Amino acid sequence: MADLPSMDELTRLAPDITYGDRVGPDAGRGQALHLSAVLPALSAALGHPTPTAVHPDPDGLQAALGLPDVRSAVVVVVDGLGYWNLKRRLGHTPYLRSLLSESSNDRPICTCLPSTTTAAMAVFGTGGCPGLTGMAGYTQLNPYTGGLSQLIQFRDAPEPEDLQRQPTVFELLQAQEVRVTSSGLPNFADSGLTRAALRGSDYIGGLTPAQRIAAAAEAAREPGLTYLYIRDVDKTGHADGWEGEQWVASLEKVDGQLALLHRSVPKGTLILIVADHGMVAADPDRRFDLAGHRELQTGIGLVGGEPRQVMLYLDEGVDPQAAAGKWQEELGGNALVRTKAQAIRSGLFGPVDDRVAPIFGDILISCQGGATLVDTRSQSEPATRMPGVHGSQTYLETDIPCLSDLV
């Protein structure tokens, strides 16, 4: 493990992530090596190159990700399995370790900011960016009501198809008469998140991991694209942290599931394994609770986002630049504080639609180290003390694996 970056390095804020098709040392973080590029690249590998709003060159993406031409592909999203989380526990994952031994696989790609499931799944599903999908965090402004929406269950949210109006790559492929199949838990088939980010596939529900893997493997016998979602390590990481025995046990189970998928799909199938984000261990001593800071509550109408990537919605008439300066002074090295205007100018959310812009907070706070920012006035105590968290712009949270396995 001596060759791995230290945890201090991995929990520092990484350079900004940008969108596009560029490759090479001058491309910066993201571009062709980004979660948004995965489905467009696979569409080209399947012989049906499908451009998206931020990726006009699917063939170039296929080359950048090193994907072969195939008749059938299975793309797996392992929720919460960051590249560096995996690298630090490789001894427990014989199948994934075998894939990482290939030089073409042993490099991370990037997820989006915020590095959280709701935003990332929309980026993945549409081949787009948060500035176009309108899915900007775990909680965010509902522009119709002025209150907060929660996007995992789409609680108090607009209709999924109204909020997220970009076509999904699944929809675009089905319009070309390409088979697209999703295998997941039955209760996810018509969920708000599926309807928003992953609509357009034929959904097969399975109660057990074995059933879902069998369904994905059976679907892969026909030409086209199959999608499989695995949530185990994220669920365990939030409940118990990612550095303990429980998380390792979940990781071992996931490795076994993926190895079973490898054994079950027909020869010639491409398996591509990615994640939506990584995970950081929260430091209880660096937990900043807004409820205990009356002077900072002034001018704040709503607190959205997640504990690692907070969005502050200001009352009318409050100067965002001045408020951001006050917050930066208070948080110091625990976080980077930016205004919405600064984040949009930097391209952090990709191109931003005028309809979507109000959904982002006026002030955006990206935590580093093990710091979290919570508000116990409106958030439950367990939610503010999760041992495993994500959402910010550190390497540990934004670097994800992209592992190709041609069976």
Give per-residue pLDDT as tens, 21-55: 999 889 999 999 999 999 999 999 999 999 999 99
pLDDT at 2: 46
pLDDT at 294: 87
Mean pLDDT (the chain) is: 96
Amino acid at 114: P
Q: What's the rounded Cα separation, in Å, for the pair 122 and 168?
A: 8
Structure tokens at 105: 């696989």
Structural domains of the chain ordered from first start: 7-280+394-406 (3.40.720.10), 284-389 (3.30.1360.180)
* Whole-number Cα distances in Å, 211 to 127, 261, 263, 395: 28, 11, 14, 34
Q: What's the rounded Cα separation, in Å, for the pair 254 and 40?
A: 26
Contact status, residue 311 vs residue 363, Cβ threshold 8 Å? yes
Q: In sequence order, what DSSP letters do the residues of 204-227 get, joined into one string? A: EE-SSHHHHHHHHHHHTTSSEEEE
Q: Are strands 363-367 and 309-314 parallel, antiparallel or unpaired?
A: antiparallel
Contact status, residue 315 vs residue 350, Cβ threshold 8 Å? no
pLDDT band, very low/low/confident/very high, at 1 (cuts 50, 70, 90): very low
* pTM check: above 0.95: yes
pLDDT at 316: 95
